[in-house]
Amino acid sequence: MELPSACSHPCWFLLALLLALLLWAGRRRAWDPRKCPTDLTGKTVIVTGANSGIGKRVALDLARRNARTILACRSRERGQAAVEEIRAATGNPAVLLRPLDTGSLASVRAFARAVLREEERLDVLVNNAGLTGLPFAVTPEGLELTFTTNYLGPFLLTNLLLDLLKASAPARVVNVSSFRHSAGTADGRYLTGQLRPGGCAAAYNSTKLMNVLFSAELARRLQGTGVTANALSPGVVSTGIMRHFGCAARALFALVRPFIKSAEQGAASTIYCAVSEEVAGITGKYFESDCGLALPSAAARDAGLARQLWEESERLTGLTHCPPR
């Protein structure tokens, strides 16, 4: 959920409360993962950013379905704690941690090498990891941190694992975006920090637009392979994604927290795209937080923009020159 920069003004609290009430009142009954019988015995899944929030809830659900569940987390300590909690809750011993920081392309490549070396199959890849609220920063690799973490890292990871996904088909790539993608701009100069989008909220919105464009172009390129790619919005969810904001913004978020979705409720649309039989064979689409198909923004439907962003992303990741070894 994006917050105005002037969130300390009392008026914003009233507006936020009104927004929360409208969201709560307009919420439609979402698909219930507990009523979906899909069993994933013999399947392998990866969930990025799975040590907390939506990612952890998604990993928990997939582990309950007997999948070999790989939690791809930046923090070893929090990731291992999540692994142990999910194992205890599900009785599934095939839940494991592999370190991954999507804000580092070196980390992405190391993770992909480990997966290709150690895993025989990959049936579902959930690109969930993301952040917001960080100040503008360029990484040692010359890439902007928020854009790399939320978009460019997942772009590279998915491409490095495509052959394994194809060999495991039917398989699914699920990209967690946001309804805020409609306020984003997909300018490739953002990826290197050559151009700044104008604040952390604008940066987040733009990364989420890039997630949708990536899903559409990926789906086009994967036609006939048995691998599908879709994007989704989890809605406005109470998670730890606000931890990098200031005290005023976090206080505002706390005010509306009782009226928005829990992490468990927010995970429903991701789980739906990952396991529901209703989604089998559907690709290149965008799903709302209630799990219904929706039309994304006009920019998100621009096929030329999607191809342009893909080509720029290939160049920046060195994708055609640096395959995992």
**Under a CB-based contact definition with an 8 Å cutoff, are residues 126 and 47 in contact?**
yes
Instruction: With respect to residue 15, please indicate whether it lies within any of the assigned structural domains.
Output: no
Most confident range (mean pLDDT) of 112-121, 130-139, 240-249 is: 112-121
Whether residue 19 lies inside any domain: the answer is no
Residue 185 lies in a domain: yes
pLDDT digits (tens, 9 = 90+) for 259-312: 466 778 889 999 999 999 999 999 999 999 999 999 999 999 999 999 999 999
Tell me how far apart the alpha carbons of residues 283 and 302 are, in angstroms, rounded to a whole number.
Answer: 16
Look up the pTM and report it. 0.86
Whether 159 is covered by a domain: the verdict is: yes
Alpha helices per DSSP H over 68-152? 76-90, 105-118, 145-147
Amino acid at 113: R
Residues 181, 234: Cα–Cα separation, whole Å: 12
Annotation marks residue 204 as catalytic = yes
**The sheet that has 44-48: what strands, in order across it?**
95-99, 68-73, 44-48, 124-127, 171-176, 227-232, 286-287, 293-294
Enclosing domain of residue 80: 31-317
C-alpha distances in angstroms, 107 versus 47, 149, 188, 268?
Answer: 15, 11, 22, 29
Specify if 7 maps to a domain: no
Q: How many domains does the chain have?
A: 1
Residue 11 included in any domain: no
**Backbone phi, then psi, for 98, in 5-degree steps?**
-135, 130
Is 24 within the bounds of a domain? no
Q: Which residues of 292-324 are buried (b: 16+ CB within 10 A; e: fewer)?
A: eeeebeebbebeebbeebbebbeebbebeeeeb
151, 190, 204, 286: the catalytic one is: 204
d(CA 293, CA 325): 38
> What pLDDT, on the 0 to 100 scale, is given for residue 18?
55
Give the pLDDT confidence of 129-169 residue by residue, as tens digits. Answer: 999 988 999 999 999 999 999 999 999 999 999 999 999 99
Establish if 279 belongs to a structural domain: yes
The CATH number that applies at residue 249 is 3.40.50.720
